[in-house]
Structure 1
Amino acid sequence: MNVLLTGGCGYIGSHVAVVLMSEGHDAVIVDNLSNSRREVVDHIAQIVGRPPTFYQGDVGEFEFIRDVIRRHRIDSVIHLAGFKSVGESVQRPLQYYQNNVCGALGLLHAMEAESVSSLVFSSSATIYGDPQYLPVDEAHPQHVINAYGRSKLHIEDMLRDICISRPSLGVICLRYFNPVGAHPSGLIGDRPNGIPNNLMPYVVQVACGERDFLSVFGGDYRTPDGTGVRDYIHVMDLAEGHVAALNYLSTNNGWHAFNVGTGRGYSVLEMIRAFEGESGRAIPYKITARREGDVACSYADIRAAALELNWKATRSLEDMCSSAWRFQSRLSKA
């Protein structure tokens, strides 16, 4: 299968490329490198033994994307390109709508023009907002509170409408919970530009001495240890979920949404202790005031993905921490 992978040089996209290519598919990566690095293409090639095809460009550029689709006879698209910082989206909503929503529109026009009828979309559990019940299933009410989540929901709604108008189209929206970890080789992993917005890359930077301590936002939640609880999933499990979604679309049309998580939550302090155990490094932290927009607890109901996609996460919390530390250790030695 020839798969167009938008945002394929990013954290999740690079791991998806590895899994796709390891299973014999051809990956064609389009990435504008605004929040990723060209060297990732070479690292993918080192892992897999052959390079993906790479184009630098914007997913919203209709003629460019259409030409890539036609040239490589693309069968399916996995769309991961987009801005992803909740905090930044509150400060720069116009940029998030322009990049995420308009970028998706350009891609969808190109797919329609070239009769590509299979799409896996990188969505987010942020569309659920503060959970009304746990675990969160796909039928949970949607209550977005920031531009990032709203951009994801807008795209989901667009895809639902397009599937009604094009019965031959098959779309899966994968609602990510909290991807962490890295490829076991240590060659690819989470390497954000600037100050990390997520827990694990910040913990890793504290462990290697790049930052003095970790700020834990809130210690008085109604959770076992007072800190926020989240569903963390190994990025390799998540990548394998994308391939399972493509396989599902080979025999199913229409619009579908699935949670991708592990089905259990870990608190911030549990994550710190687990990382300390795997890295052998102490993680200094300070409990500070709650951060606006954070929820106390969120974890996924994963039964639908297990039943329909025949997929579930298999890697442990220890795997998540050890692989993240292996990736950071390689960067520190470079």
Structure 2
Amino acid sequence: MSLPVILVTGGAGYVGSHTVLELLNNNYTVVVVDNLVNAHKDKGADLPEALRRVERMTGRTVYFHSVDIQNKEELTRIFNHYKIDCVMHFAALKAVGESCQIPLTYYQNNITGSSVLLEVMKNHGVYKLVYSSSATVYGIPQYLPLDEKHPTGQGCTNPYGKSKYFVEEIMKDLCSSDPLWAIISLRYFNPVGAHESGEIGEDPLGIPNNLMPFIAQVASGKLPRLQIFGSDYNTHDGTGVRDYIHISDLSAGHVSSLKCILKPDYTGFMAFNLGTGKGYSVLDVLKSFEKACGKKLPYDLVPRRPGDIDSSYADATLSKKTFNWTATKGIDDMCQDTWLWQQKNPNGFKSQ
């Protein structure tokens, strides 16, 4: 019996490429579509560099297509060409701060793109989807830790979080309208780290929007100082507290949820948290990174960014109960693996 064919949108990005690696290691056939807005591809290369390395690490083939999910015609062509069993949907713009500056771009890409994808899936009788969602759908926490019963969409603080919430609502309506649909929405907290080999990791284009790659670039001397946005939060040291999850734990969570959704009797919409259940402040992460790289790192305390909140961390009991997934790696692993990736790849996936 041939193993299922999984279409991965945004599969050349950070979370996507690590999940493609995990899928191939579990013998799935993987087709990737990506518009390369968050990925590097060398001139003349067949594959984005992250996927080229994934092929080398696994000895398996990735079927790659440079396509934007808003392009219905191109997407239809791909669905005509492969017999797809399930879609893993990562393709989205994902920077909280940037989403406050260019909200229309975020809504078009994240919401319109998802609608087009769902429509093409429906036209081809593909009803199973694992969605890359976010803890930002919970807005400002009414209580901690955040579980899946926490209200969503109330007090979402930025267009990125709203776009993830709106897409979840579209998916819920779809599942209510037709019992053939099976959708798992994975709400993740803060993915960080890199593959333990240092071969693939987070490669932000331009100045990093996220904490860990920013610290890594300060440690390597690429950036002069770390900026810590906000030191007056209601937390143990005044800096924002987040639930950081190792990228390898996160990609394993996707494969565990996939095994669950591929069961013939699995239908409807379900959301699951993927997090460690522990909160670390910005200064906690900085201390752990200093341990990993063996030196003190300079930083400045600057005003808060719009859209940021005090604390956010997960209750991930439901994932453990439903598809037997738990995070296994701690903050020191996350920092060590990020530092190894940064040292081996000072320019990310670019060769120069």
Category of TM-score, reference length = shorter chain: over 0.9
State which of 319, 325, 329 in structure 2 corresponds to 1:315.
329
1:41 aligns with 2:55: no
1:18-75 residue CA offsets vs partner (Å, 9 max, x unmatched): 0000000011000011121211121111111123110001112223222212312110
What is the distance in 1 between the residues matched to 2:189 and 2:51? 26
What is the distance in 2 between the residues matched to 1:308 and 1:193? 36
Deviation of the 1:159 alpha carbon: 0.4
Matched residues, percent identical? 47
Q: Paired residue for 2:45?
A: none
Q: Paired residue for 1:297?
A: 311
Deviation of the 1:305 alpha carbon: 0.8
1:90-125 residue CA offsets vs partner (Å, 9 max, x unmatched): 111111111111111111111001111110011111
Paired amino acid for 1:10: G
What is the distance in 2 between the residues matched to 1:147 and 1:290? 17
- For structure 2, the 5+ residue unaligned runs are 41-47
Deviation of the 1:147 alpha carbon: 1.2
Q: Secondary structure at the match of 1:201?
A: helix
Equivalences for 1:217-256 in 2 at 5 Å?
A: 217-251=229-263, 252-256=266-270
State which of 159, 166, 176 in structure 2 corresponds to 1:147.
159
Equivalences for 1:180-259 in 2 at 5 Å?
A: 180-251=192-263, 252-259=266-273
State which of 162, 176, 179 in structure 2 corresponds to 1:164.
176
1:82 aligns with 2:67: no
Paired amino acid for 2:231: G
Q: Secondary structure at the match of 1:233?
A: strand
State which of 94, 103, 106 in structure 2 corresponds to 1:96.
106
Q: Paired residue for 2:43?
A: none
Q: Paired residue for 2:10?
A: 7
- For structure 1, the 5+ residue unaligned runs are none
Give the number of aligned pairs: 334
Paired amino acid for 1:156: E
Query: Given the two structures, how large is their TM-score scaled by the length of structure 1?
Result: 0.97
Deviation of the 1:218 alpha carbon: 1.9
Deviation of the 1:132 alpha carbon: 1.1
Q: Secondary structure at the match of 1:173?
A: strand
1:208-241 residue CA offsets vs partner (Å, 9 max, x unmatched): 0011111112222221122111000001110011
RMSD: 1.2
What is the distance in 2 between the residues matched to 1:68 and 1:280? 48
1:9–1:33 Cα contact (<8 Å) kept: yes
Instruction: Pick which of 44-53 and 61-70 moved more.
Output: 61-70
Q: Secondary structure at the match of 2:131?
A: strand
Paired amino acid for 1:111: M
Q: Secondary structure at the match of 1:332?
A: coil
What is the distance in 2 between the residues matched to 1:290 and 1:95? 23
2:97–2:305 Cα contact (<8 Å) kept: no
The structure 1 segments of at least 4 consecutive aligned residues displaced by more than 6 Å after TM superposition are none
1:192-214 residue CA offsets vs partner (Å, 9 max, x unmatched): 11111110010000000011111
Equivalences for 1:10-159 in 2 at 5 Å?
A: 10-37=13-40, 38-142=48-152, 143=154, 144-159=156-171
What is the distance in 1 between the residues matched to 2:99 and 2:306? 13
1:4–1:69 Cα contact (<8 Å) kept: no
Instruction: Pick which of 59-68 and 121-130 moved more.
Output: 59-68
Q: Secondary structure at the match of 2:15?
A: helix
Query: Given the two structures, how large is their TM-score scaled by the length of structure 2?
Result: 0.92
What is the distance in 1 between the residues matched to 2:198 and 2:145? 32
1:63–1:110 Cα contact (<8 Å) kept: no
1:229–1:267 Cα contact (<8 Å) kept: yes
Paired amino acid for 2:284: E
1:78–1:119 Cα contact (<8 Å) kept: yes
Instruction: Pick which of 324-333 and 207-216 moved more.
Output: 324-333
Q: Secondary structure at the match of 2:345?
A: helix
Q: Secondary structure at the match of 2:64?
A: strand
